[in-house]
Chains A and B, each alone.
Chain A
Amino acid sequence: MTAAPLIEVEDLRIDLDDGAKHVAAVEGVSFRIDRGETFGLVGESGCGKSITALALIGLLRRPLSVAAGAIRFEGREIQGLSAAEQRALRGNRIAMIFQEPMTALNPVSPVGRQIAEMFVLHKGKSWREADQLAVEALANVRVPAPERRVKDYPHQLSGGMRQRVMIAIALACDPDLLIADEPTTALDVTVQAEIIELMRNLCAERGTAILMISHDLGLVANVCRRVGVMYAGRIVEERGSDDIFRACAHPYTQGLVDSLPRLGSRAALGRSRLREIAGVVPAITDFPSGCRFNPRCARATEICRATAPETTWLDAGGLVRCHHHA
């Protein structure tokens, strides 16, 4: 029996409509994540990674909206759920951690309280029990002296500690899926590695699937089993992380790989920024016709400017969208 995937995105299109203009910010995006699996989305700033993640938890707000496609969590269409059913999923079955551990915590509430709130909200615990569970949750993310730390306010903690608290909040209710949107970009290199390791271990222990979002291909490939590369609102290539370095098929992926210093070495993992590929990311309002990568692509030909490439399934597993893929 092939179990139903945990989450399945099919032909997702997200429209940006602010009255004046109406454009598809994300188009034809499909992927699936099985239970306990790790999947990464990589791409340059503005390619639509974060809004795809928001769509998964039903939190796109004007001027953005899901215009087409399906998002199924355990086979159930997210769009079809009531507001209350969606809330019961968020934080409980699907959790999320963000880039900014500085601002994602409420400055006037002790961190223990903010963790405990999750148990009260989603598990119906009393505050007494919840406060106790909060101490355990802090201990789980390796915060020293958790019984004292629960009383601390966010500004008393370092960036790394705050991100640990965020992970404790996100994993409090034992979610099935953890979405990590650039979880370490704001942190020091050494702290980054610790946090990633912690997140990976905790999720592996609990069988929590991870959707990791980053513009750092090296980092994502290190954490995730499979990687989807996004460019200008489309997934251009999806591969197993090992294959991507050995034989990537899309010119854009090739550019990403080439811009990584010394592949796979420990030093490379710490690097957070891609070196730029020649040219700039097109603005959302004037995506080029045909393949959106064509102005920057060395392999581009007439057909690339005329028609968007279809999905090609690769024999080696994975998919690519390019007329002249390797």
Chain B
Amino acid sequence: MRLGTSAIIGGVLFALAIFVGLFAPWLAHTDPVMGANLMNAEEPPSWTWWFGTDAQGRDIYSRVVHGARISLTVGIVSQLVNSVIGVTLGLTAGYWGGWWDDFVNGLTNLMLAIPSLIFALAIMAVLGPGLTSLLIALGLTNWSFTCRIARASTLSLKSQGYVQAARVLGYGDLRIMITQLLPNMVGPIIVIGTLGMGGAVLAEASLSFLGLGIRPPYPSWGSMLSEARDQITTAPWLSVFPGLAIFLTVLGLNLLGDGLRDVLDPQSRSRRS
């Protein structure tokens, strides 16, 4: 496997974000929520306060570091839920066909017709703000691309000799799906999942910015942007650093996804073997 430059840059950015998220308590200088001290309010970035401080005197660097935990948790978990839903629906629809296929197709088209952020917004409005509702809202609304890919892959894999052979050898439907179909479509599913993860990080920021996601004082990148809204001219560092964190993470995931697509593309793989 040869990884391209974009996959490597993207991978490094994403790995960095994961590293920061995992080791946030050790990397942070102060407690992100309780470390308020009005004596240090609205300090610009300096050697003491790397990213500056906010109106309550909390260290922005520490808040951005802790924000990585929330943003990445939302991004990864919600995309995993999406992938599981999308693969399950797409695989079974493509495999069994018939009314189930029609039903799944209808549902997918419906999901594609409604922008997923609007849909998530509606769910959040019902469930109320918070991490759990965020995970539910984003996890249930962005599986349509995965579903389409899984269904299309299933339809093309179904006629492959080894799927037919498995049937002849007495494999049941579930065993065929798990051993013959799923492993042969992981490439595109991972690509879509990586790109979707970037989308979820962005969606979390948007919802939190609107006050529907993570609520202040807990630091998610979106909620920090939301809080910084009024001081964008007086204390720009309040928005710049969380914004940069979002930008780099999403950029990293998109580069990684595009890079993986080149490597995992099923056509290029069948050419090689």
Which residues of A are interface residues toward B (Cβ below 8 A)?
Answer: 57, 59, 87-92, 95-96, 98, 100, 102-109, 117-118, 121-122, 155, 169-170
Contacts of B160 in A (CB 8 A): 103
Binary per-residue interface labels of chain B (61-85) against chain A in the complex, 1 for a CB within 8 Å, 0 otherwise: 0000000000000000000000000
List, sorted by A's number, 8 A–B pairs whose CB atoms are closer than 8 Å.
A59-B167, A91-B169, A106-B179, A108-B183, A117-B171, A118-B169, A122-B170, A170-B169
Which of B167, B168, B172, B184 is within 8 Å of A106, CB to CB?
B184
Instruction: Return B270 CB to nearest CB of chain A, in Å.
Output: 8
Given contacts A90-B168, A96-B168, A106-B162, 4 further A-B contacts (CB under 8 A): A57-B168, A98-B161, A107-B184, A169-B169
- On whether A103 and B170 interact (CB within 8 A), knowing A108-B184, A109-B179, A109-B183, the answer reads no
Instruction: Give 1 or 0 for each of B239-273: 1 = CB within 8 Å of chain A CB.
Output: 00000000000000000000000000000000001
Question: Which residues of B come within 8 Å of A, CB atoms?
Answer: 160-162, 164-172, 175, 179-180, 183-184, 273
Report B189 CB to chain A, min CB distance, Å: 13
A87 touches B168 (CB 8 A): no
Q: Within 8 Å CB of B179, what residues of A? A: 106, 109, 117
A29 to B196, CA, bound (A): 56
Chain A residues whose CB sits within 8 angstroms of the CB of B167 once the complex forms: 59, 90
Q: Cβ of A91 and Cβ of B168 under 8 Å apart?
A: yes
CB < 8 Å neighbour of A121 from B165, B170, B183: B170
A121 touches B168 (CB 8 A): no
Q: A98-B161, A105-B162 are in contact. Are A90 and B169 (CB under 8 A)?
A: yes
Task: For B175, list chain A residues within 8 Å (CB).
Answer: 121
Q: How far is the CB of B36 from chain A (nearest CB, A)?
A: 54
CA distance A117 to B183 in the complex (A): 15
Residues of B within 8 A of A170 (CB): 169
A218 → chain B closest CB, angstroms: 26
Task: Specify which chain B residues have a CB less than 8 angstroms from the CB of A121 in the assembled complex.
Answer: 169-171, 175
Complex CA distance for A169 and B169, rounded to whole angstroms: 9
Cross-chain contact of A88 among B161, B165, B170 (Cβ < 8 A): B170
What is the CA–CA distance of A170 and B168 in the complex, to the nearest angstrom?
A: 10
Q: How far is the CA of A19 from the CA of B62 in the complex (A)?
A: 69
Chain B: CB-nearest residue to A53:
B168
Nearest B-chain residue to A166, judged by Cβ: B165
Q: Separation in Å of the B66 CB from the closest CB of chain A? A: 40
Q: Once the chains are docked, how many angstroms separate the CA of A88 from the CA of B169? A: 9
Which of B161, B171, B184 has the most CB atoms of chain A within a 10 A radius of its CB?
A: B161
Q: Rank and list the top 6 A-B pairs by shortest CB-CB distance, nearest first.
A: A103-B161, A91-B169, A91-B170, A90-B170, A155-B273, A104-B165
Q: Report B-chain residues with C-beta under 8 Å of the C-beta of A107.
A: 162, 184, 273
Measured between beta carbons, the chain A residues less than 8 angstroms from B166 are 106
Q: Does B172 contact A87, Cβ atoms closer than 8 Å?
A: yes
Residues in chain B near residue A90, CB distance under 8 A: 167-170
Q: Whole-angstrom distance between the alpha carbons of A235 and B171 in the complex? A: 31
Q: Smallest CB–CB gap between B16 and chain A, Å? A: 31
* Choice from A89, A92, A98 contacting B165 with Cβ under 8 Å: A98
Query: Which chain B residue has the least Cβ–Cβ distance from A87?
Result: B170
Nearest A residue to B167, CB-CB: A59
Residues of B within 8 A of A108 (CB): 183-184
CB neighbours (8 Å) of A98 from chain B are: 161, 165
CB neighbours (8 Å) of A122 from chain B are 170
Among A91, A96, A103, contact of B162 (Cβ-Cβ < 8 Å): A103
A108 to B167, CA, bound (A): 17
Instruction: Report how far A177 CA is from B122 CA in the complex, Å.
Output: 60
Kindly report which residue of chain A lies nearest to residue B166, judged by CB atoms.
A106
Question: Which chain A residue shows the least CB distance to B171?
Answer: A121
- A residues in contact with B161, CB < 8 Å: 98, 100, 102-104
Residues of chain A lying within 8 A (CB to CB) of residue B183: 106, 108-109
